[in-house]
Structure 1
Amino acid sequence: MNRIFEKYISCKSCLKLFSILLFVLCTTVAFAQNEPRTILDFNKDWRFYLGDEAKAKIITFNDSDWRTLNLPHDWSIEGQFSKHHLSTTQEGALPTGIGWYRKAFTVSTSAKGKAVFIEFDGIYRNSEVWINGHSLGIRPYGYSSFRYELSTYLKFGREKNVLAVRVDNSAQPNSRWYTGSGIYRNVRLVTTSQIAVNQWGTFVTTPTVTSQKAVIALQTSIRKAVGRTSKGELPTIRLVSTILDAAGKEVATQTTQSVRLIDTLITVSQQVDVSNPILWSVEKPYLYKLVTRIYNQNRLEDRYETPLGIRSFKFDPATGFSLNGQPMKILGVCLHHDLGALGAAVNRRAMQRQLELLKAMGCNAIRTAHNPPAPEFLDLCDEMGFLVMDEAFDMWKKKKSKQDYGLTWDTWHKTDLEDMVRRDRNHPSIFIWSIGNEIREQFDSTGITIANELASIVKTLDTTRPVTSALTENIPDKNFIYRSGALDILGFNYKHEAYADFPKTFPNQVVLASETGSSLQTRGHYDMPSDSVRMWGKGGPTKFTDGNPDWTASAYDNEAAYWGSTHEQTWKVIKKLPHMAGLFIWTGFDYLGEPHPYPWPARSSYFGILDLAGFPKDVYYLYQSEWTNKPVLHIFPHWNWPKGKTVDVWAYYNQADEVELFLNDKSLGVQKKTGDELHVMWRVKYEPGTLKAVSRKNGREVLIRTMSTAGKPAKIQLIADRTALNADGKDLSFITVNVLDEQGNLIPDANHLITFSVNGGGTLVGVDNGYQASLESFKANYRKVYNGKCLAIIQTNEKAGRIRVKATSEGLQGAEIELVSQ
């Protein structure tokens, strides 16, 4: 808009003032036109104070010296790693505490008589919210979404309103992993008519699905805040529900006339048919949209949108899982909610990148371990084609940490579970509800009572999806949650040796591996020999001194926690058992906290298939060779070793029946996978040069991979995952930083300190290198590479333009890369 007036207004200050006035005018016009529902991003320009300030709830409190920032925000990730922040070894060694947020805002007089709400997608944790000094409520659980109505306390026109939020994450330990602290998910200001669809007020199901027709069942919860009409009659409305295809074309409509609003909350049921539906699947996640309109006489009172994916699925005790009638294995991973160097602060692009990397590996399912995720994460799973096990709790009444959710269980569990199901039940990606993970009540009779209560809460709100709980005890007589009969699906964690006997142990029960693995790996580090498995804990190394002095685990798939297994051990069992519906690997990515097997200064997990920076570990290619149809040939480790050292060379491959390995053009022999093997290995006496692997099928070459001895470090390489970005203040570019020799070979043990500078329309918001014991700040403008690599994360500003990123290091040729935001 500004460009239209630039030639008429030469003064930049005048132009800026004109733009502000134009924005205000447009906003006022929007209210004047009686928009039935407005949803405003409420993330900008909050004041923040780290510490406790009791007077901050008061509207006249002076917060001018507080920091100004945008949400979502995680104050913990901004801190320095320190042993002093540890109450146990599990939370990530970053600061917690108490923080306050305040936001001043005005509301147009045209909003008088409307219903105004503030919606929070998640605050960690123990939040209390005030509007103009009036307490709206508290919410202990850090993963719940919730809203408060502001209407009664608002001032309209030029008078300012003040929203204040106190967040208390001081009581530690309250989690077994890094949680983050603050208003770490998105916030919205929602204004509706007095007659409107209630929060999460639509429920869309697909009870009948064929290629010719889908029957869509609709339930709409309508909220009425007005009383009787001027004639003393109850108001009546007309409900119109329209299905749109992905192009926005109407494909079906159902209208219900003369709905009498006899209560403050009523539910209207409808049914529509969609002919020749395009089905949602993991390969083609096609989405329709439901548009709900409420008319009072001929006045539009509300317009509400709901995503819709038309699909059917089935679990069978003997044959596992099928989607739209097609048998498929659930190939899943568990994910915690942190986003590496960005912490818990939600960013859609960061979550999308994680899912892209997992999709390329062949993953088709996510377990949200062990809590409800951000709504945007579920949107992405809908759009990208992932099945989701949506999980509610890590503990019930019996605590796992001294200050955890068990303290508020009695008061809040019903509300929190109901809100999760209502919020998430329209996502086609969700196919299982999980009511808990490794719950301690499974070992006594309290598990029967609570499991039945929780399953009943879920079934009251949704009967279209099965209920499970991730169990550790697989002996039927000893597992009280199983004995409750509340679970539709039995999810078992680890103990893969028992999987084959499940049809006898649990006859006629659907079973899946809800958590597997806990394999331990550090990207780019290799301990030999590689053909012996080391289980950390019982029966294996138990102390830090039994491990490596640099807090590393071998990237060969040969180390695991005592309760778990290597990746190969579990997958080779599950792939052969049709009654096992699938698996969820612990975990897709490394995550902050729970640094088993090492204590401080290790501060993040070793379990991921990808490291904390999102760099694949070698086992990533095992799954890619097993779970995708793309040709794969991956050889490792690197080829820089002391001369004469015996080196184990592994290869993951598919679409071939053999691999031949060459060193400096001399054949080291052909290897073939036999039996249930998932990799091949050569034991090679090291000499510098080039290692080459050739995979063949029926004697014909499929793929060639080479790896050469790297020379002296010479230069920096920058590779951006995306160079064209959106100038929205949120979009990200993840830049991989490599240290190379003159020939372009990665230096596998490089640890250079890289310094970054950013000019133009972007900001450096995070750095990382994936090393689990790195204590450098995620928010610094520098990072040491680890095993040749590190990561820089650039976030756009709201002004379009070019972003120049420069990386320098002493003794190396620097590098620059240009991004464009528009």
Structure 2
Amino acid sequence: MIKFFCFFLLLVSSLQIANAQRQKYNFNSNWKVLTGDDSTAINNNYNDASWKNVTLPYAWNEDDAFKKDIVDLRTGIAWYRKHFKLPAAAKAQKIFIEFEGIRQAGEFYVNGKYIGLHENGVMAFGFDITDVVNFGNSDNVIAVRIDNSWDYREKATNSKFQWEDKNFNANYGGISKNVFLHITPKVYQTLPLYAGLQTTGVYIYADNYSIKEKLATIHAESEVKNESGQPQQVVYRVAVRDNSGKLVKTFTRDKINLAPGETKIITASSLVNDLNFWSWGYGYLYNVQTSLLVNNKPVDIVNTTTGFRKTEFKDGMIYLNDRVMMVHG
């Protein structure tokens, strides 16, 4: 299965990276887990053949479910490892790994090198692993040491998390949510992973609503980085499509200059007519495509699925699209 995944990653990426478009891969398969602590597990040549094979999300103590009270679930240290390969064509790209969440503190290593610490059992986070991965036929190993102890204390402050209480939630430890691998060009829109990457990604919103006339101003906002090593002149293009794929509106922000290494927030907005507003029982969604163009060619495209609705709180009542919502407590 590992060989198949690596071949698939190599084949698909080689074709699509040639067009300098970002790719997002499900990174949940072919992990290994060891319950216990072994510091040598960070090394690539470590023999993990006897470890348990799992597919994420996977809590290492999940077998305790329905056998013990939630306050009695096992806690402690568990290690997770995954072997993977990256196509040679990705060497000119950026490589990020995204974790939707762990429980609760993790130390992360790629190819034996420490890449970071995350101490939060709730939020998503990510790491830039561009400079520590191998390409082509060389193997890569990511190793994660996770501690879900009830008495875990944040390293910087030596304080416990307020929500870390046996009366609050079940302590299912490990990599308990999805993991993704992102390959992007070096002029790119960042990922919305402030934890770890300190980046804000793409933000789509609307204002200036006229519900009766079915119109609103749609805003697109992307945090953009230039890690190409060269000055870049970028055009920012936004395309709004309805839920059938029909193009509703296109608008642009022309020629933004990005110095080497520069990070900049780029925005564009336009009044859009004939909108279907998201409402209770009518969850209408649009696809908003934000693109970076260099020399009139798209180098990075991000698709965001979202809906638009007007909300207000006035006179002690909640309004959705100018209609009062009945709320029962």
For 1:122, which of 101, 115, 127 is the aligned residue? 101
Specify the SS of the correspondent of 1:199.
Answer: coil
Structure (1 or 2) with the greater helix fraction: 1
> What does 1:641-680 align with in structure 2 at a 5 Å threshold?
none
CA distance in 2, matches of 1:95, 1:179: 8
The reply on whether 1:191 has 2:183 as its aligned counterpart is: yes
CA distance in 1, matches of 2:219, 2:275: 15
Of structures 1 and 2, the one scoring higher in RCO (CA 8 A, sep 6+) is 2
Partner residue, 1:703: none
Change (3 A) 1:118 1:321: same
Specify the SS of the correspondent of 1:56.
Answer: helix
In structure 2, give the amino acid aligned to 1:180: Y
Change (3 A) 1:329 1:75: farther
In structure 2, give the amino acid aligned to 1:227: G
For 1:255, which of 246, 252, 256 is the aligned residue? 252
Partner residue, 1:55: 40
CA contact (8 A) 2:277 2:309 kept: yes
In structure 2, give the amino acid aligned to 1:206: A
CA contact (8 A) 1:31 1:110 kept: no
The reply on whether 1:246 has 2:243 as its aligned counterpart is: yes
Change (3 A) 1:77 1:69: same
Partner residue, 1:319: 316
CA distance in 2, matches of 1:35, 1:49: 38
For 1:298, which of 293, 296, 299 is the aligned residue? 296
Report the Cα offset of residue 79 of structure 1: 2.1
> What does 1:408-419 align with in structure 2 at a 5 Å threshold?
none
CA distance in 1, matches of 2:50, 2:128: 29
Matched residue pairs, number? Answer: 304
For 1:280, which of 278, 281, 293 is the aligned residue? 278
Report the Cα offset of residue 239 of structure 1: 1.0
The reply on whether 1:271 has 2:256 as its aligned counterpart is: no
Partner residue, 1:218: 220
In structure 2, give the amino acid aligned to 1:27: V
Change (3 A) 1:216 1:166: same
Change (3 A) 1:220 1:22: closer
> What does 1:599-618 align with in structure 2 at a 5 Å threshold?
none
1:237-271 CA-partner distances (Å, limit 9, x unpaired):
11111111001111111112211014621011211
Partner residue, 1:163: 142
Report the Cα offset of residue 127 of structure 1: 0.7
Report the Cα offset of residue 324 of structure 1: 0.5
Change (3 A) 1:22 1:165: closer
For 2:233, which of 232, 236, 242 is the aligned residue? 236
Report the Cα offset of residue 31 of structure 1: 4.4
CA contact (8 A) 2:236 2:268 kept: no
1:313-342 CA-partner distances (Å, limit 9, x unpaired):
1112x3321101110133xxxxxxxxxxxx
CA distance in 1, matches of 2:267, 2:9: 40
> What does 1:147-158 align with in structure 2 at a 5 Å threshold?
147-158=126-137
CA distance in 1, matches of 2:75, 2:225: 39
CA distance in 1, matches of 2:176, 2:46: 24
Structure (1 or 2) with the greater strand fraction: 2
CA distance in 2, matches of 1:299, 1:72: 38
TM-score (norm: length of structure 1): 0.36
Partner residue, 2:81: 102
Cα RMSD after superposing both structures: 2.3
Change (3 A) 1:33 1:72: same
Report the Cα offset of residue 33 of structure 1: 2.9
CA distance in 1, matches of 2:8, 2:223: 34
CA distance in 2, matches of 1:45, 1:158: 18
1:460-493 CA-partner distances (Å, limit 9, x unpaired):
xxxxxxxxxxxxxxxxxxxxxxxxxxxxxxxxxx
Change (3 A) 1:151 1:217: same
In structure 1, give the amino acid aligned to 2:102: I
CA distance in 2, matches of 1:20, 1:58: 22
CA contact (8 A) 1:71 1:185 kept: yes
Report the Cα offset of residue 24 of structure 1: 6.4
Larger radius of gyration: 1
> What does 1:576-595 align with in structure 2 at a 5 Å threshold?
582-583=328-329
TM-score (norm: length of structure 2): 0.86
Specify the SS of the correspondent of 2:24.
Answer: strand
CA contact (8 A) 1:209 1:310 kept: no
For 2:18, which of 33, 53, 64 is the aligned residue? 33
CA contact (8 A) 1:81 1:94 kept: no
The reply on whether 1:181 has 2:173 as its aligned counterpart is: yes
CA distance in 1, matches of 2:5, 2:224: 37
CA distance in 2, matches of 1:117, 1:269: 24
Change (3 A) 1:191 1:21: closer
CA distance in 2, matches of 1:21, 1:239: 33
Percent identity between the aligned chains? 28
CA distance in 1, matches of 2:6, 2:102: 34
1:417-440 CA-partner distances (Å, limit 9, x unpaired):
xxxxxxxxxxxxxxxxxxxxxxxx
CA distance in 1, matches of 2:255, 2:48: 51
Partner residue, 2:159: none
CA distance in 2, matches of 1:225, 1:29: 21
In structure 1, give the amino acid aligned to 2:183: T
Specify the SS of the correspondent of 2:169.
Answer: coil
Give structure 2 stretches of 5+ with no counterpart.
Answer: 153-163, 193-200
CA contact (8 A) 1:118 1:148 kept: yes
Report the Cα offset of residue 25 of structure 1: 6.7
> What does 1:325-724 align with in structure 2 at a 5 Å threshold?
325-330=322-327, 582-583=328-329
Report the Cα offset of residue 308 of structure 1: 2.3
In structure 1, give the amino acid aligned to 2:222: T
Report the Cα offset of residue 197 of structure 1: 0.6
CA distance in 2, matches of 1:100, 1:244: 44
Report the Cα offset of residue 189 of structure 1: 0.4
CA distance in 1, matches of 2:55, 2:142: 14
Partner residue, 2:156: none
